[in-house]
Structure 1
Amino acid sequence: MSRKLSWLLLALVAALAWIAPALLPDPAAQDLSASLQAPSASYWLGTDALGRNVAARLAAATQISLSLALLSALLAASLGAGLGLLAAWRHGWTERLLLALADAVLALPGLLWVLLLSALAPGRTWPLYLGLVLTAWVEFFRTTRASAATLLGGPQVQSSQLLGFGRIYIVQQHVWPALRGTLLALTALAVCNAVLAVSALGFVGIGLRPPAAELGLLMTEALPYYADAPWMLAPPVLLLLATVLALQTLGKKHGLGA
């Protein structure tokens, strides 16, 4: 997939998430007399078993899933990059302690951390945020620490220090320009992983609870009716696939400097 197509897909997904909900009816409104209606002029993507508008629920689900993923990825990037820079600058026991913490987090698979934390408060959003951030910050930390350690020992940074420039200047002029492309690529991949994780949790019934709309939950609700009402299952599956492919393409190509 090309970068232009990836950006176009993400723009459409963003429009669905943050513009379409204002134009569509209430995603939780039920009309049992319109249960399992096929796509039509009144219901663009049909209705579900409770007569709820599938297009409205898809837009609401996209907004929730993307909001969770974006916020958790940005928090993980800020935390991981900040700790990585701290470890590279301070060395000593600070670096050893942070490395041990990162290794402890990696001792368990990332999705398992999210599952364990989500089980503490099923249906709440804060365990999802905490679990996603906990699993994603390590990659930012290790990448930033390794790259910053090399940069901070380089002649350009040493020259800036001899000239009396402070740490903020060094980060802005030397560290950030060198790490920007890699961190943006990691952020795109972190959003991708978070979208998948949130959908997986919703699919197995541990994530957000009804009547909230979320991509994984939409798939779970549609499965019992996939033979009679395929219009319920296809939209969230195709939307998740397009979003993941676009984010992976941008992350990999940006990381390679394409």
Structure 2
Amino acid sequence: MRLPRLVGLVCLLVIAVLTILGPSLSGFDPAKQNLRAILLPPGTDGHLLGTDNLGRDIAARILGGAQITLSLAALAVASAAAFGVGLGMLAGWRGGVTDRLLGALSDAVLALPGLLLVLLLAAIRPDSWWTLYAGLALTLWVEFFRVSRARTRVLTASPAVEAARLLGLGRWHVVRRHLWPDLSLQILTLAAFGAATVVTALATLGFISVGLRPPTPEWGVMMAELLPSWREAPWAIAAPVVALAATVLSLRLAAGSEG
């Protein structure tokens, strides 16, 4: 395993532990306001990363935002992978009309920019967790479909699969013993890149007030709230920026190929 990928996996493990522990790790309620403690510097009165423009603990809000962002990313990527890989295997295995129809469907989805699709769904029902999930999952499944379809076409024509068929072994055996072992590493790599895309998209939508809305402790929402105070308290807006950058970088490093 290459060093960059190892670093990415270790960073993801740390982020996952912090996310599971959540705001309770900081000892503060991420939604509790204290107008007497506005924009406190890091380390003041037990606030590890200081407070925001409403006196809320920034560390607690960062950890709360991590729970929202990473859980939504995991759910969207898992749904897109299951749907895309399933359809990709079906198209690659059966070919013919099935392959052409599913290929046309994926091309139709690609014709519409992914972020635009998410924006349209979010505009229909703003501040909806499920709307964001549906939009992001719909934009991600195509990559899983294209990769799994291409590999399935190659693998179903391989001598190993042909021999399994001649021996009368079922499709499930072929998928479990021949297709999935070959596809799994590529799917995991796509999943890591897809999760990075979801994290960035959520922050972007939150920043422009199309995704989740205040007082939700989401990183993009936090950036939008703290932007007017960046001269007075640059550490405050730096916290969600660093959290977002570290998460995306860790996911992209972890997506690296084996050495």
TM-score with structure 1 length normalisation?
0.96
CA deviation string 1:144-198 (max 9, x = no partner): 0010011011111111111111111100100011111111100000001010011
Aligned to 1:3: 5
Distance 2:212 2:136 in 1: 14
Residue 79 of structure 1: CA displacement?
Answer: 0.6
Q: Is the 8 A contact 2:32 2:56 kept in 1?
A: yes
Q: Is the 8 A contact 2:19 2:67 kept in 1?
A: yes
Distance 2:64 2:153 in 1: 43
Residue 37 of structure 1: CA displacement?
Answer: 1.1
Moved over 6 A (4+): none
Deviates more, 1:89-98 or 1:61-70: 89-98
Residue 22 of structure 1: CA displacement?
Answer: 2.6
CA deviation string 1:109-163 (max 9, x = no partner): 1111111111111000111111111111000000000100110111111111111
Residues 19-168 of structure 1 mapped to structure 2, 5 A cutoff: 19-23=21-25, 24-40=27-43, 41-168=45-172
1:176 to 2:184 alignment? no
In the alignment, which of 189, 192, 196 is matched to residue 188 of structure 1? 192
In the alignment, which of 200, 223, 233 is matched to residue 219 of structure 1? 223
In the alignment, which of 238, 243, 246 is matched to residue 239 of structure 1? 243
In structure 2, give the amino acid aligned to 1:201: L
Root-mean-square deviation over aligned CA pairs: 1.2
Residue 21 of structure 1: CA displacement?
Answer: 2.1
Q: Is the 8 A contact 2:205 2:220 kept in 1?
A: yes
In structure 2, give the amino acid aligned to 1:239: A
Residue 96 of structure 1: CA displacement?
Answer: 1.2
Residue 27 of structure 1: CA displacement?
Answer: 0.5
Q: Is the 8 A contact 2:22 2:67 kept in 1?
A: no
Distance 1:18 1:207 in 2: 23
In the alignment, which of 210, 214, 218 is matched to residue 210 of structure 1? 214
Percent identity of the aligned residues? 48
In structure 1, give the amino acid aligned to 2:9: W
CA deviation string 1:58-109 (max 9, x = no partner): 1000110111111101111111000000101122221111111101110111
Distance 2:138 2:19 in 1: 25
In structure 2, give the amino acid aligned to 1:245: L
CA deviation string 1:38-70 (max 9, x = no partner): 112511111111111111001000110111111
Distance 1:169 1:76 in 2: 24
Structure 1, unaligned runs of 5 or more:
none
Aligned length: 255
Q: Is the 8 A contact 2:7 2:254 kept in 1?
A: no
